[in-house]
Every structure is written in C-alpha cells, then in structure tokens.
C-alpha cells in the first residue's frame, strides 16, 4: 500500500489590522497610500498578508503586502495593495490591447486595465485568463526596490473608472 503525502498549499495568510498605525509598524517596508481619495471615502478594512511558506519571525521577509480597502456610504469601494506582490502587473500582459494601457506616476510607468478575468484555463501547465469581463478598473506600478525584491502598488475598483483611479494614483506617497 502506497501513501501519498499531500503538499501544503502555498498562499498568503491575511491578518486583520485595527489601524493604519498598526499596519505601518507591522509591514517590512514603508507603506504608500493615496492621499487624494474622492469625498466620502474612508478606511473600511486593513489586512497584512504574509506568505505561509516563510517563518513569521524572519526579520526582513521581503514578501509581505498590505491591503487597505476604502469605501463610501453608497457602496463604492477601492482596494489598495502595496508590498512585495502585484495582482495586476503580470496579468496586464495577457489583457486585450483595447482595454489596457500605461501612464506616468511620478516618473514610473503605471499599467491600467479596464477588465478582469472571469474564468481561467490551463495552458502548458499554467493558469491563464480565458474570459474577460468589463465593469472593473485597476492600475499598478513599481514603487521601488528593497535589495533584490520589487515593491508594487495597485488600486482596483468595480465602481470607479480607470480615469478616476489615474487621478487618485497621482496622490500616492508614503503614509
């Protein structure tokens, strides 16, 4: 009888954070946040994501990221991610050309897209988007490096347009 040991699933583990001050002290990098949000938006959730494959006591993990969600009273939301992870920069290359582009944020090239993947397919052993749906906006760019690791910033929303996110992007800086 053969026994097969299942490999552990590698993923990021979110930890709820009570305040922006607590997030600033828990991250392994200087957090950037938008300062020019539309009127009525406030912080609705803060999470620090850390990979389950790295020991938590490692002094400088260079692999964590912080998620801050902003919402207004009418149900509109903006998701902000900053750290050693980018949900959108790698996907940008796969997005159809007519719903993506670039713009400048403080000298950095930022990538925008106005669709998201609804389903995926496996091609050559990799998951790739199979269907794109509108009604979504995202922008992302590199904010710097820490030794050999890249820091990324991204914003996404189902209720704001790419143009609105581009305006907000110009206000992003150290918290």
* Percent with pLDDT over 90 in the chain: 48
Q: What is the mean pLDDT of the chain?
A: 85
Task: Name the residue among 80, 83, 107 with its Cα closest to residue 30.
Answer: 83
pLDDT digits (tens, 9 = 90+) for 114-171: 988 777 777 787 777 777 888 899 999 999 876 777 899 999 999 999 999 999 999 9
**Cβ-contact 120, 137 below 8 angstroms:** no
Contact 151, 165 (CB under 8 A): no
Residues whose CB falls within 8 Å of the CB of residue 120, separated by 6 or more in sequence, listed in order:
127, 128, 129, 130
């Amino acid at each position: 009888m053969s026994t097969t040991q299942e490999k552990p699933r590698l993923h990021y583990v979110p930890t709820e954070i009570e305040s922006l001050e607590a997030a600033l002290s828990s991250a392994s990098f200087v957090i950037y946040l938008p300062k020019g949000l539309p009127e009525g938006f406030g912080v609705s959730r803060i999470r620090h994501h850390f990979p389950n494959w790295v020991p938590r006591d490692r002094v400088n993990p260079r692999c964590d990221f912080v998620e801050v969600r902003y919402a207004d009273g009418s149900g509109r939301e903006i998701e902000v991610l900053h750290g050693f992870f980018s949900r959108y920069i790698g996907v940008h290359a796969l997005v159809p050309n007519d719903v993506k582009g670039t713009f400048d944020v403080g000298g950095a090239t930022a990538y925008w897209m106005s669709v998201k993947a609804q389903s995926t397919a496996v091609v050559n052993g990799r998951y790739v988007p199979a269907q794109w749906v509108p009604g979504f906006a995202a922008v992302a760019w590199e904010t710097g490096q820490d030794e050999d690791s890249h820091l990324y910033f991204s914003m996404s929303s189902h209720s704001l347009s790419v143009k609105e996110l581009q305006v907000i992007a110009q206000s992003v800086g150290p918290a």
